[in-house]
Amino acid sequence: MGIHNEDIAVIFEEIADLLEIEDANPFRVRAYRNAARTIRGLSRELGDLLAEGKDLTTLPSIGKDLAAKIKEILESGHVSALDKLHREIPASVEDILKLPGLGPKRVKQLYHEHDIKTLAQLESAARSGKLQALPGFGKRMEQNILENIHALQTKEKRFLRHKATFYAEPLLHYLKKHKSVRETVIAGSYRRGRESVGDLDILITTGDQELVMEHFIKYEEISQVVSSGQTRATVILACGLQVDLRVVAEKSFGSALYYFTGSKAHNIRIRRLAQQQGLKINEYGVYRGSKRIAGDSEQSVSKAVGLPFIPPELREDRGEIRAALNHQLPQLIEAGNLKGDLHVHTIATDGQGTIKDMALAARKYGLDYLAITDHSRHLAVTHGLDPGRLSRQIDEIDELNTILKGVTLLKGIEVDILENGTLDLPDDILSRLDLVVAAVHSQFHLTRRKQTERILRAMDNRNFSILAHPSGRLLFEREPCNLDMEKIIRKASERGCFLELNSQPQRLDLIDIHCQQAKNEGVLISINSDAHDENDFNNLEFGVDQARRGWLEKKNVLNTHPLKSLKRLLRQTMS
């Protein structure tokens, strides 16, 4: 069975969680989390690197012990360190860890101090009102736990799209290697760039469907063949992801790709448009009566119903068909349009690279400028910067800019927005920066009114530049803050400041709908990596996908501007 980088990263994250529950040394816990982050950012599979004789200890955050564990996982599919932890901590405790909002620290508290080991025990304690009396919980947390237990029991299993890529792309590569495969594409929500996917829909054209089907079900990462026929097969991969493979005729490939890309709501609109013109459209083609008039390509399908090509990311029935009919489709932003990144971290707080390391990595990625935005002091867990340390970092950046070639560093900070709406650092130090990225990192459960007012008050600070990850959500882990986002977007428009689209795959925050609203209000969006190591710049691609789903064009994105005009825009917010 193939072992991917994501599989190893998941194992290391699980070890870190269980060690934290055991109250292990925090540095040991952090070592596993840092290693998982490094592994997820690698462009090549660790198995391939090891096969080539690569010394894994040359990778950031990978020492001899972790390199040995990686080798053990690749060779056996498991690691003895995790097996030992599984023997020490009941599996039911890990089920509790799956609940959004209950990290290892709270699970440790429940397990060690209150002997809560199962979801059933946790639900019972919550229903009886016992949890709200515990330190760090409260009535709102108790209610959230009950809601999340119910959601966990009923929800469809979904994968973050960036995690799905670790399994989807190798499978696609495997299929393409077969000599009889002519064309193959992953359709569905994966192709539309959705944040998460429930399964994969793969379409293939081939000259020998029997051989291709046989080749598909021999894929080594399939754990279960649900069904297999001449033109369709459904399998479950070892990771739990369902894959549906369909063999389609070349003359119908475009119509099938359009149909299976979706969304369902978009397809219904297209069918109605076709019917108004006396046409019938389905996965096999476009028909006038019994005559087939289109279907070999998506472009032919669109043209047959009088539309230009609509990018897959827009096919959500949010006005894209009307825009297409009126020749008003946006020219969507592309990854190559980004000139810089305005939100990254270094070893000064919770990053893994020095300022110079991050600058060189940004240059290698093709960026012209990079803002260093380490955390401020309020976020103690990250060893955030106080005014003195920030002042010294400002001097270091100025010095590096005299010697760096091909990339310019900007001086910034990711400053906490405190509960009362003030910023975590004084204005005299913030005024020395090129930009101030402000963020909520605590008190996520304030009422809608209080949370909104908190952010609006922060935006009034003359040093405020960009609102980072505005909703505060973590996909599958933490719900977004209860915010009046329309008020925040209008405030950004009035104030002349900016909103971030954070490209970390677990955030992807702003959501697509709010991107579109910001665009309509003339608010520029900054697509940032929130990089914590040199590989995280690759996350920008996920941010661009999200921006495309939000109808953003190059002109709507702050960091598509060249450095000179960017600085002018930033100065305007701080004047």
Segment 414-434, tens digit of pLDDT? 999 999 999 999 999 999 999
What are 327-337's pLDDT values in tens digits? 999 999 999 99
Q: Does domain 252-325 have CATH number 3.30.210.10?
A: yes
404: nearest Cα among 356, 455, 453, 457: 356
pLDDT for res 133:
76
pLDDT for res 95:
78
**CATH 3.30.460.10 spans which residues of the chain?**
159-247
CB 438 within 8 A of CB 468: yes
Query: 526 forms bridges with which residues in the sheet?
Result: 500
CB 204 within 8 A of CB 184: yes
DSSP helix/strand/coil, 562: coil
pLDDT at 277 over 90: yes
CB 329 within 8 A of CB 308: yes
pLDDT for res 153:
64
What are 494-537's pLDDT values in tens digits? 999 999 999 999 999 999 999 999 999 999 999 999 999 998 99
What is the spatial distance between Cα 483 and Cα 301, in angstroms, rounded to a whole number? 41
pLDDT for res 119:
83
**Percent of all residues in the chain with a pLDDT value above 70, rounded to a whole number:** 98
CB 464 within 8 A of CB 458: yes
Secondary structure of 237-252 in the HEC alphabet? ECCCCEEEEEECCHHH
Query: 553 forms bridges with which residues in the sheet?
Result: 332
pTM above 0.85, yes or no: no
Residue 153 CB neighbours (<10 A): 9
- φ and ψ of 520, to 5 deg: -65, -25
Helical residues (DSSP H) of 288-426, grouped into ranges: 298-304, 320-325, 355-365, 387-401
Least confident interval from 79-83, 438-442, 522-526, 571-575: 571-575
**Residue 510 DSSP symbol:** S
pLDDT for res 122:
85
Which residues are CB-neighbours of 566 under 8 A, at least 6 positions away? Answer: 339, 340, 369, 558, 559
**CATH 3.30.210.10 spans which residues of the chain?**
252-325
What are 37-51's pLDDT values in tens digits? 888 888 788 988 988
pLDDT for res 67:
93
pLDDT for res 154:
58
More confident residue, 103 or 546: 546
Mean pLDDT of the chain: 92
Class of domain 335-573: alpha beta
What are 243-255's pLDDT values in tens digits? 999 999 999 999 9
Query: 236 forms bridges with which residues in the sheet?
Result: 224, 242
The whole-angstrom distance between residue 503's C-alpha and the CA centroid of its chain comes to 6
pLDDT level of residue 156 (50, 70, 90 thresholds): low
CB 514 within 8 A of CB 479: no
- φ and ψ of 284, to 5 deg: -100, -15
Residue range 159-247, CATH number: 3.30.460.10
Candidate ranges 4-13, 100-109, 191-200; pick with highest mean pLDDT: 191-200
pLDDT for res 155:
59
**Residue 474 DSSP symbol:** B
Residue with tokens 């068909």: 321
What is the spatial distance between Cα 255 and Cα 285, in angstroms, rounded to a whole number? 5
329: left (phi over 0), alpha (psi -120 to 50) or beta: beta
Candidate ranges 11-15, 230-234, 339-343; pick with highest mean pLDDT: 339-343
Round the CA-based radius of gyration of the chain to a whole number and report it. 25
Q: Token pair for residue 422?
A: 């003030």
pLDDT at 382 over 80: no
What integer is the mean pLDDT of 434-462?
95
371: nearest Cα among 116, 136, 111, 570: 570
441: nearest Cα among 473, 410, 407: 473
Strand runs (DSSP E) across 168-307, as ranges? 181-186, 196-197, 199-206, 222-228, 232-237, 242-247, 280-282, 285-288, 291-294
Residue with tokens 């047959």: 304
What integer is the mean pLDDT of 214-219?
94
- φ and ψ of 466, to 5 deg: -135, 135
Q: Exposure pattern of 546-563 as b/e (b: 16+ CB <10 Å)?
A: bbbbbbbbbebbbbbbee
Helical residues (DSSP H) of 409-532, grouped into ranges: 427-430, 448-459, 485-495, 512-520
pLDDT at 568 over 80: yes
What is the spatial distance between Cα 447 and Cα 484, in angstroms, rounded to a whole number? 11
469: left (phi over 0), alpha (psi -120 to 50) or beta: left
What is the spatial distance between Cα 510 and Cα 436, in angstroms, rounded to a whole number? 18
Residue type, 456: L
pLDDT for res 45:
87
Which residues are CB-neighbours of 53 under 8 A, at least 6 positions away? Answer: none
Q: Which CATH superfamily is domain 5-154 in?
A: DNA polymerase beta, N-terminal domain-like (1.10.150.110)
Secondary structure of 149-165 in the HEC alphabet? HHHHHHCCCCEEHHHHH
CB 468 within 8 A of CB 502: yes
What integer is the mean pLDDT of 69-77?
89
**CATH 1.10.150.110 spans which residues of the chain?**
5-154
**Maximal CA-CA distance, the chain:** 77
